[in-house]
Structure 1
Amino acid sequence: MILAVICLAQLVVLLDNTILNLAIPSLTRDLGASTADIQWMINAYALVLSGLLLTAGSLSDRYGRKKSLLVGLALFGIGSAVAAFSQTSEQLIAARAGMGIGGALLMTTTLAVIMQVFEGDELPKAIGLWGAVSSLGFAGGPLVGGVLLDHFWWGSIFLINLPVVVIGGLAVTKLVPESKNPQGKRPDLIGAVLSTIGMIGVVYAIISGPEHGWSSGGVLIAGAVGLAALAAFVRWELHVPFPMLDMGFFRNRRFNGAVAGGLLVAFGMAGSLFLLTQHLQLVLGYEPLEAGLRMAPLALMIVALNVVGVGAKVLKKIGAANTIAGGMTLLAIGLGLVSVLGDRSHGYGGMLLGLLLMGSGIALAMPAMANAIMSSIPPAKAGVGAGVQGTITEFGGGLGVAILGAVLSSRFAALLPAAVGAGAAGSQHEALEAAETAELREQVKDAFASGVSTSQLIGALAVFAGGLLAGFLLHRAARDEATASAPPTAEPPATEPPTAEAPTAEAPTAEAPAAEAPADGTPTAETSKTSA
């Protein structure tokens, strides 16, 4: 029951990452929103969410994870209600920012509670289901949004959150036990401010770069401020007595391998979903609801494999390194098949196999990555660990959309017919309006389809390389842990007669932990604490 409540809260948070995109035409018509307004409606939520994840995780450890869940649900519900009945663009932007605060508390606390409630073989299964729901939130946004907008007004995409908030709040109050860091260290306020400014600046630059140009003043200033704040954050955390984020985590090879894998899983998943929505609507010509329905096999495969426990079984059998590498390889192959077989000549049938393979890969890699990160961090700091995991997901996802989007735009502009004009290279819609003949319009469509295909192939190569890198780092970490925990080998017989001197009490002895780390890289609780 606790896991069901946690997953429901996680689902609504992630649905709001993608659901608003489909409502853009309605918002433009009903609120008179400009292009800049629309961008801020979409980005306000992602920016606040990304910027506050580390701070939210630290606060939940300090003051209690159950309290953080309840506060997060309340803020998310209030923000949703205000957003649904907003009368101006400014009201909706402010409401989305408020939802981002609640979302940051929910994203970090849900995983932290799972780490406290489950243990042993049940923990990977629980994280697998949590990961499945997280993936469903990303992939299900277009489908849920399409259904609601097909029958109701745009405010319905926010009102649907309210029953979840009420039910979730009652269930959390009744079922979820309170837990917090027993050491009760005081909050790191300066670290919280620096990390928030840094993440918001960097994520804003990533989001705005493709739209305004990477060399534009606003993007460069935001990126520079963000990087400077993050550098100051690292320096501060290294010297402050009670750091929000213990930099010692980054001396753990398993933690670093999981972070690298997490970045690239998020890169591939968010980037591929970004391209898939455009592929289905702008290349194959489906309406939003039709496109959402055709993406359903991806989400269903993720959920099905984790509900029956395939991800947890594979993780236990072959270890985190091989599971993440194998999952990301499947994701890369699926994305490549979508690129090759999903063109207008093959239609949707050609891309279905690719979607199923992508779902299988995400179902394996994402829970294994989350488990690897969280098992590298002491349980008392589970909130901070969840903040790291959420930050990686948001940052990697933004990077995937930005880089693959830039590749798409560059390829489209290069292949656009000269008769259309370079000024129409900003979008396929503008280029089609500028095309005066049917032949030119077909050339525009072919250019855009080629841009999408090229971006998907590059994304597939990046995900495959990332899988190999993450697998290598995790495998090396598991090998080092196994070597460190192995019992000492017997000394060979001495070639000289032993002296009468007996070993002193200070003679070094091999100190093995209580539970030996498995060779597959799946850590026990004791080795997790030792390595961290």
Structure 2
Amino acid sequence: MTTPAAPAERRVPEAVHRRRWAILGVLMLSLLIVVLDNSILNVAIKTISTPAPTGLGATQSELEWAINAYTLVFAGLLFTAGLLGDRLGRKKVLLSGLAVFGVGSALAAESGSPVQLIVFRAVMGFGAAFVMPATLAVLMNVFEREEQPKAIGIWAGGVGLAIAIGPITGGVLLAHFWWGSVFLINVPIVVLALGLMFWLVPDSRDPNPGRVDLVGVVLSVIGLVLLVYGIIKGGQLASFTDATVLATIGAGVAVLVAFVVYEKRSDHPSIDVTYFKNKVFSAAIAAIALVFFALMGVTFFSVFYTQSVRGYSPLKTGVLMLPLAAAQLIFAPRARLVVDRIGNRATCTGGLLLLAAMLGAFATLKADTPIWLLEVIFFLMGTGMAHIMTPTSVVIMQALPREKAGSASALSNVFRQVGGALGIAVLGSVLSSAYRNGIEDKLSLLPPGLRHTAGESIEATLGVAAKLGPRGDALVTPANDAFLHAMHVTALCGAGVAIVGAVVVAVFLPGRPPAPQKDEDRTELVTAEH
């Protein structure tokens, strides 16, 4: 036997290796609150848009900003967070990020206006930016390479668990407490995660970390904010040819181009653009971004469909979204087995095509469609996502050396968050524009100021109708019809994006992995014996 060779093969210290699964559990708890927050918020959107004292009376554009303030700050700081984790130690950064996230959650729960909520959501995004990359970076440093796909699959399944728990938890909280409870619930989870983190998780860092790129961080945040603001504003005005909209979007694109040029010339870039010369790496990143573009846009409008059109409570809406999360929880840890059998290319292409088909299926939903059909759509969407997220995460994380795990994780999460933010902005704006165009002629009898407010979203129209009493009943059916048409248009746009993603991965991702050689088999046996 070649038993003495085992220590040379193992790069993880024995004491850490023995508790690696417990460490993974703590990392998933930290991940849970970051993902949980967004999935809870999805159910609470309608409640927050309700006038005080029930909610904050947030408009659709303010709701989009409440979501995107979090994701934009999150995405903009991920590169720096990853580098700081590599430099200062991932455990220290993870603990600090969790603490800031907990404080932001407590402040968001006490928001007195939509503007305050947007600001405190940004604080939460700041903390989350230091949590997400650190969890995956620590994971890559406590598992040996042969166990990393399994661990990443379980990690990705944790995302599905959070998506499952979030809407139901949000629904229960909204049924018994005020809307702010959906944020306050994060605080005890943060306290528990901090305690377990101190006890179990080892620290790690890059022996040769890069310098923090402050100019790059500022350019990326400004560019993304301008771009997303222009897109949301275009949806609010139902016009993407408005001079202000075009100027803002153009400025955002220009700043992002300047960011890329600066990063190429910098000797300490936030993002090493040479990574993207690897077509496999680029395709995996693109797939993640496009999946979250479609997913975040869909969850945004599906909540209004179930609550405003179908009349379900937040709790029932949370239960309705359970199949989406359950499918991810079931299939994400097993996706690696499918990859072993048919390869990354076929697995991810099939997942994206299934996602596109289910997005297209949303265009068939009506006000009286049997609700079990929506459940089937959600389950198959989750199945498709599970077979995209796990393989692409493994490709990305194994493309870079272990010492650069923080950077790889940051890149993966940046594109996930930017894709999600753009999905909410673009698909939310398509929804808003299509809705306004569909309802505008039905609002002609209202005063001009009220007409503009009522046309912004279905919730705004129904709110105005409720204030008008019996005279407003005539607006309810046109509002539902206009929303359904807008949802159909938006869903088809999302399906088109998923098809683009399927083409990208079909062309660039590798096929079936090569069979292991005899030497590799022997190494695996030696590792297994220990």
Residue 426 of structure 2 aligns with an amino acid whose one-letter code is I
2:399 maps to which residue? 376
Amino acid at match of 1:54: F
Matched, 1:319 2:343: yes
Q: Measured at CA, do residues 458 and 51 of structure 1 come closer, stay the same or move farther in structure 2, by a change above 3 Å?
A: same
Contact 1:268 1:459 (C-alpha < 8 Å) held by counterparts? yes
1:161-176 maps to which residues of 2 (within 5 A)?
161-176=186-201
**CA displacement 1:467-518 (0-9 Å, x = unmatched):** 132221113xx69x98xxxxxxxxxxxxxxxxxxxxxxxxxxxxxxx989xx
Alignment of 1:379-458 (within 5 A): 379-416=402-439, 418-421=441-444, 423=452, 424-431=454-461, 433=464, 441-458=476-493
1:473 aligns to 2:508 (yes or no)? yes
Range with greater deviation from structure 2 (66-75 or 48-57)? 48-57
Deviation at 1:3, TM superposition (A): 1.3
Residues 108 and 117 in structure 2, CA contact (< 8 A), matched pair in contact too = yes
Quote how far apart the aligned CAs of 1:270 are: 1.2
Larger-Rg structure: 1
**Aligned-partner Cα distance in 1 for 2:439–2:209:** 60
Match of 2:261 among 235, 240, 243: 235
Q: How many residues of Structure 1 are paired with residues of Structure 2 in the alignment?
A: 481
Q: Which residue of 2 aligns with 1:3?
A: 24
Instruction: Answer yes or no: is the 8 Å Cα contact 1:77–1:161 preserved in 2.
Output: yes
Contact kept, 8 Å, 2:49 with 2:63, in 1: the verdict is no
In the alignment, the residues of structure 1 paired with residue 343 and residue 367 of structure 2 have an alpha-carbon distance, to the nearest angstrom, of 40
Report the AA paired with residue 241 of structure 1.
D
SS at match of 1:29: coil
1:293 aligns with 2:319: yes
Cα drift, residue 385 of structure 1: 1.6
Q: Distance in 2 between matches of 1:189 and 1:443?
A: 50
Of residues 341, 358, 361, the one that matches 1:337 is 361
Q: 2:220 aligns with which of 195, 202, 216?
A: 195
Contact (CA 8 Å) 1:51, 1:198: kept in 2 or not?
no
Distance 1:278 1:267 in 2: 18
Question: Per the alignment, do residues 48 and 209 of structure 1 end up closer, same or farther by CA in structure 2, a change over 3 Å counting?
Answer: farther
Q: Mind listing any 5+ residue stretches in structure 1 that lack a counterpart?
A: 483-513, 517-532
SS at match of 2:70: helix
**Aligned residue type for 2:509:** L
What TM-score comes out, normalization by structure 2 length?
A: 0.81
Check conservation: 1:109, 1:383, Cα contact below 8 A: yes
The 2-side partners of 1:171 and 1:460 are apart by: 41
Tell me the residue number matched to 1:519: none
Report the CA distance shift for 1:408/1:231 in structure 2 as closer, same or farther (over 3 A).
closer
After superposing the two structures, state which structure 1 stretch, 357-366 or 411-420, moved more: 411-420
Correspondent of 2:202 among 171, 177, 180: 177
Tell me the SS of whatever aligns to 1:391.
Answer: helix
Which structure has more helix as a fraction of its residues?
A: 2
Give the alignment's TM-score, normalised by structure 1.
Answer: 0.81
Q: Which moved more, 1:61-70 or 1:22-31?
A: 22-31
Q: Secondary structure at the match of 1:76?
A: helix
Give CA deviations for 1:267-304 in whole Å, capped at 9, x if unaligned: 22112212321221233221222112111111112112
Q: 1:100 aligns to what?
A: 125
Give the CA deviation at 1:348: 0.3
Letter in structure 2 aligned against 1:8: L
Q: Deviations over 1:85-136 (max 9, x none)?
A: 4556665444322211111111121122222222334212222222233244
- Which of 307, 316, 332 does residue 281 from structure 1 map onto? 307
1:420-464 residue CA offsets vs partner (Å, 9 max, x unmatched):
438554322454556958676434423322321232233223313
Shift of 1:138: 4.7
CA distance in 2, matches of 1:95, 1:400: 22
Aligned residue for 2:93?
A: 68
2:392 is aligned with 1:362: no
Change (3 A) 1:85 1:302: same
Amino acid at match of 2:157: A
> In the aligned structure 1, how far is the partner of 2:297 from the partner of 2:129?
22
CA distance change for structure 1 residues 194 and 310 in 2, over 3 Å: closer, same or farther?
A: same
Q: Which residue of 2 aligns with 1:260?
A: 286
Structure 2: tracts of 5 or more residues without a match: 1-21, 445-450, 522-530
The amino acid of 1:318's aligned partner reads I
State whether residues 149 and 394 of structure 2, in contact with CA within 8 Å, keep that contact through their aligned partners in structure 1.
yes
TM-superposed deviation, 1:150: 1.1
The reply to whether residue 13 of structure 1 matches residue 34 of structure 2 is yes
Contact between 1:417 and 1:440, CA under 8 Å: does it hold in 2?
Answer: no
1:187–1:409 Cα change, 3 Å: closer
Change (3 A) 1:249 1:101: same
